[in-house]
């Protein structure tokens, strides 16, 4: 029938479109991985001669490895800071009422939507005014502050899914607020907190716009990569990016395990008939 | 239910931290924008000279307009790419969990690295040009690909498409399936069902995604520096140079403060539209 065949055409068209979008999303990643093994240092087509040279150069690159160390340190500090303030912020938004609560909510979430340059510059002015020397510490403070937004939203979402009756029962049975906090609230939020922590860690590892303005003498990994990219095409960047990509994939799998263990059931959806 | 002490204990620390490390810095940005530089020293003399300069010197409005054009193109392209993708995943696919993860994975690849990958592809001796020469489509490398606003739009679209996809997909997943079935049972063709049921209900998600793509690409300065060339300079690049070699923090602060106000106005507007959409 006429309508059926046009519906078929449309759904084939939709499938082609979907595949094209996926191709667009994955083309640069594919290029990156392929050219990290390319024998020549310029990225011409076709790639010539497979080599592990760029990976070997990478292994001996002390500046790069110390930047990796710096980034790990900053990410860890930023994660602890963001969680330390994001958890009480989520609890406050959920169960306390205070003047200026609406403004507070917007302000906490602002760094999430604001271009990094504005947050970076504003913090730079604060640190300069306070007479603080720029270092890894200022970067960690910047990342931590900006990422309180992520901790707050993730933990707030966890609170919305939580079974309130447990907390109420605990309080009714005479437990103090703090006993309830440590024995009921925290264990229930455990997975939301771990998830938020992983996300913050990864975002901090990749952050560059805020770091750009708060950098002291020591580079983080993205800033080290940035300074090399500005000098031109450097194939060992392909190699380090491939490693970071594989590392990210492992992180996704870990995150996936955490989420499925939380027992989130996939929504049972009725497949639509075409 | 909770004691006053508990509420104070959870509210006070984040309030204090946010006041010192977010509110105060944003306030500093505005303070600096009213100060001036004289002989390489910042003078705390309050005036509107920086803002007057922004309006008088044609360069600043031109660059801002270009940035908005680039951000607008990125937003439009991201919507065009992510809308059909979200529709396919949410309503047509049997492996939506897997495909969803496939959309998310590029988000975990470093921003810089993705921008750099486009540089490898678009450069004059890059993958695309040498491929086209290899198969004989062109004889000489096309130079316009890299170091142009086009390269910036392409790269930023690549980066923000997954971000635009996420809220659209989420709002499509929240559409009650019985609404869609009702439309079909009443004889609506798939296209009609899409335009009268699915499209209007996914608009709030599209609005959220579009806001995200527009605001974040408007303030970007890394992609223009890496692949934009002189014709791809955006407003944040001007700020970066004012805070660097040009050393005029107050003028840079005035541009950033204007950008901040622009973004806040946009967010306010979006919130109003969102409320209207969810009531109708």
pLDDT tops 50 at residue B137: yes
Q: What is the mean pLDDT of residues A236-258?
A: 79
- pLDDT tens sequence across A6-36: 667 777 888 899 999 999 999 998 888 888 8
**Spatial CB neighbours of A67, under 8 Å, sequence gap ≥ 6:** A218, A219, A220, A221, A223, A224
pLDDT on residue A261: 55
CA angle B245, A219, B32 (to 5 degrees): 40
Residue pair A108/A101 in contact (Cβ under 8 Å)? The answer is no
Q: Is residue A66 part of a domain?
A: yes
Quickly state the pLDDT bin for A69 (edges 50, 70, 90). very high
Q: Is A121 close to B252, i.e. CB distance below 8 A?
A: yes
Q: What is the domain range of residue B220?
A: 57-279
Q: Which residues of chain B have a CB within 8 Å of the CB of A269? A: 177
The residue ranking higher by pLDDT, B56 or A256, is: B56
- pLDDT tens sequence across B57-90: 989 999 999 999 999 999 999 999 999 999 999 9
| Ramachandran bin of B136, using left for φ above 0, alpha for ψ from -120 to 50, beta for the remaining angles | left
CATH code, B66: 1.10.3720.10
Q: How far is residue B243's CA from residue B248's CA, in Å, rounded to a whole number?
A: 6
pLDDT on residue A260: 62
Q: Is residue B272 part of a domain?
A: yes
pLDDT on residue B75: 97
Q: Is residue A52 part of a domain?
A: no
pLDDT on residue A1: 43
pLDDT tops 70 at residue B118: yes
Query: What phi and psi, each to the nearest 5 degrees, are found at residue B42?
Result: -80, 120
**Spatial CB neighbours of A170, under 8 Å, sequence gap ≥ 6:** A179, A180, A183, A184
**Inter-axis angle of helices B59-87 and A2-35, to 10 degrees?**
120
Q: Is residue A13 part of a domain?
A: no
Q: Is residue A89 part of a domain?
A: yes
Burial class (CB in 10 A: 0-12, 13-18, 19+), A162: middle
pLDDT on residue B107: 81
Q: Which residues of chain B have a CB within 8 Å of the CB of A271? A: 94
Q: Is residue A143 part of a domain?
A: yes
pLDDT tops 80 at residue B18: yes
pLDDT on residue B1: 73
Q: Which residues of chain B have a CB within 8 Å of the CB of A131? A: none
Q: Is residue A192 part of a domain?
A: yes
CATH code, A79: 1.10.3720.10
Q: What is the domain range of residue A118?
A: 61-261
Residue B114 distance to chain A (closest CA, Å): 6
Which 163-222 residues of chain B touch chain A by CB within 8 A? 173, 177, 180-181, 184, 189-191, 211-212, 215-216, 218-222
pLDDT on residue A3: 54
Please tell me the total count of domains within chain B: 1
Q: Is residue A218 part of a domain?
A: yes
Which 39-98 residues of chain A touch chain B by CB within 8 A? 42-46, 84-86, 88-89, 91-92, 95-98
- pLDDT tens sequence across A195-245: 899 889 988 988 999 999 999 889 999 999 888 887 766 778 888 888 888
**Most trustworthy range by pLDDT among A72-76, A241-245, B96-100, B186-190:** A72-76
pLDDT tops 90 at residue B96: no
Q: What is the mean pLDDT of residues B22-26?
A: 94
pLDDT on residue A259: 66
Please tell me the total count of domains within chain A: 1
Say what the ipTM of the complex is: 0.89
The residue ranking higher by pLDDT, A47 or B182, is: B182
Q: Is residue A19 part of a domain?
A: no
* Residue in A124, A177, A226 closest to B112 by CB: A226
């Amino acid at each position: 029938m006429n309508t059926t065949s046009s519906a078929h055409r449309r759904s084939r068209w939709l499938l082609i479109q979907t595949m094209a979008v996926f191709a667009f999303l994955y083309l640069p990643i594919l290029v990156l991985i392929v050219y990290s093994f390319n024998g020549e240092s310029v990225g011409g087509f076709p790639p010539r001669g497979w080599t592990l040279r760029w990976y070997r150069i990478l292994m001996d690159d002390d500046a790069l490895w110390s930047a990796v160390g710096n980034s790990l340190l900053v990410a860890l500090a930023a994660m602890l800071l963001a969680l330390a303030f994001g958890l009480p912020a989520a609890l406050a938004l959920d169960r306390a009422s205070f003047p200026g609560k609406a403004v507070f909510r917007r302000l906490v979430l602002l760094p999430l939507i604001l271009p990094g340059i504005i947050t970076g510059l504003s913090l730079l002015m604060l640190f300069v005014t306070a007479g603080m020397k720029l270092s890894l510490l200022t970067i960690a403070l910047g990342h931590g502050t900006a990422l309180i937004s992520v901790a707050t939203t993730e933990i707030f979402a966890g609170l919305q899914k939580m079974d309130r009756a447990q907390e109420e029962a605990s309080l009714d049975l005479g437990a103090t607020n703090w006993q309830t906090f440590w024995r009921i609230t925290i264990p229930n939020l455990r997975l939301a907190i771990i998830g938020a922590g992983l996300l913050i860690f990864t975002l901090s590892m990749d952050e560059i716009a805020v770091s750009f303005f708060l950098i002291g003498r020591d580079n983080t990994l993205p800033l080290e990569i940035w300074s090399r990219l500005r000098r031109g095409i450097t194939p060992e960047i392909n190699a380090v990016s491939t490693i970071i990509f594989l590392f990210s994939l492992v992180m996704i799998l870990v995150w996936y395990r955490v989420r499925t263990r939380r027992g989130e059931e996939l929504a049972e959806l009725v497949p639509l008939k075409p | 239910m909770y004691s006053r002490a508990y509420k104070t204990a959870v509210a006070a620390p984040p309030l204090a931290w946010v006041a010192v490390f977010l509110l105060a810095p944003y306030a500093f940005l505005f303070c600096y924008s009213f100060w001036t530089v004289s002989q390489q020293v910042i003078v705390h003399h309050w005036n509107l000279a920086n803002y007057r300069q922004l309006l008088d010197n044609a360069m600043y409005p031109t660059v801002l307009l270009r940035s908005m054009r680039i951000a607008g193109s990125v937003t439009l392209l991201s919507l065009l790419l992510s809308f059909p993708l979200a529709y396919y995943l949410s309503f047509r696919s049997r492996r939506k969990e897997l495909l969803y993860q496939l959309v998310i994975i590029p988000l975990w690849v470093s921003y810089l690295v993705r921008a750099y990958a486009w540089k490898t592809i678009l450069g004059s001796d890059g993958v695309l040009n040498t491929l086209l020469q290899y198969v004989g489509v062109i004889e000489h490398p096309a130079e316009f690909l890299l170091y142009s606003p086009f390269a910036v739009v392409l790269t930023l679209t690549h980066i923000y498409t997954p971000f635009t996809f996420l809220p659209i997909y989420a709002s499509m997943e929240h559409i009650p399936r019985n609404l869609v079935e009702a439309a079909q049972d009443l004889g609506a063709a798939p296209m009609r069902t899409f335009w009268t049921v699915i499209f209007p209900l996914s608009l709030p998600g599209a609005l959220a995604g579009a806001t995200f793509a527009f605001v974040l690409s408007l303030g970007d300065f890394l992609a223009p520096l890496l692949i934009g060339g002189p014709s791809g300079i955006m407003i944040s690049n001007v700020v970066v140079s004012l805070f660097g070699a040009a050393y005029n923090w107050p003028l840079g602060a005035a541009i950033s403060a204007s950008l901040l106000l622009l973004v806040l106005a946009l967010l306010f507007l979006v919130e109003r539209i969102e409320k209207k959409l969810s009531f109708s």
